[in-house]
Amino acid sequence: MAHPPFDPRHAAHPTGSRPAPILTLKIDGQDVGARSGDTILTVARENDIHIPTLCHLEGLSTLGACRLCLVEVAGANRLLPACVTAVREGMAVTTRSERLQTYRRKLLELFFSERNHVCAVCVSNGHCELQDLADTLGMTHVRYDYLYPPAAIDASHPRFSVDHNRCILCLRCLRACEEIEGAHTWDVMGRGIDCRVITDLNQPWGESESCTGCGKCVQVCPTGALTEKGRAVAEMVKNKEFLPYLRIMRRRTF
């Protein structure tokens, strides 16, 4: 029996057998194709269009917390976060404009003003995503008052430390620990300026019974908040390429 002609709208989704209607839209004036349900960020990355991100990490669930990935969408009366905004047929997205750069720089300045990010004395100096973004987005100074809330360092774990002065509350650690390692050691406590990531029921990390010591949270932390003990500043490179693979393995196992 002859097969019906191939219809790309019914092509299988790469991560499963779900039919994926094809949408067309424009990003920065370029025509791109997308699957229904894709986010603007996914489609932009597939087409080598760079959108800055901080809380987003491939392989973890999306949070939409940092707002660094804001883009302009024609017809929308506000800026939208690319990592949690689904594409629509005919959408026109702008990822680069002076307005977006201004907002992104302001957001970075707010991150820098909220806690103590003195890069010169940070163990992750030179290997920090916050620092890299400040550099690439041309942030030259902080025009907000520094808040410097009292924030502790917990070095009770035999292999790792957490310095709350460097934490930007991206919650990558929490998501990696819960979604990849399955330990759910990290949680969040408090509000506003008092908000902190905590281990178990806010006990020292070294006393945590749920922590397996796998180090995944340390590897995904974008700043010097989570670090491995006994490493020099030059060795503080984070390795997070393992995440998408572990996630796929987990899906296959359960």
Q: Which does 168 bind (CB under 5 to 8 A by kind): ligand SF4, ligand FES, none?
A: ligand SF4
Q: Assess 215 for contact with ligand SF4 (CB under 6 A).
A: yes
> Which residue, 37 or 182, is less far from ligand SF4 as judged by CB?
182
Identity of residue 120: A
Report the nearest approach of ligand SF4 to the CB of residue 116 (Å): 13
Residue in 81, 168, 174, 199 binding ligand FES, rule: CB under 6 A: 81
Residue in 39, 43, 44, 53 binding ligand FES, rule: CB under 6 A: 53
Residue in 15, 101, 202, 212 binding ligand SF4, rule: CB under 6 A: 212
Report the nearest approach of ligand SF4 to the CB of residue 120 (Å): 19
Q: Assess 54 for contact with ligand FES (CB under 6 A).
A: yes
Q: Assess 115 for contact with ligand SF4 (CB under 6 A).
A: no
Distance of CA 250 to the CA centre of its chain: 20
Residue in 99, 204, 213, 249 binding ligand SF4, rule: CB under 6 A: 213
Report the nearest approach of ligand FES to the CB of residue 4 (Å): 40
Report the nearest approach of ligand FES to the CB of residue 111 (Å): 11
**Contacting residues toward ligand FES, per CB under 6 A:** 53-56, 64-69, 81, 83
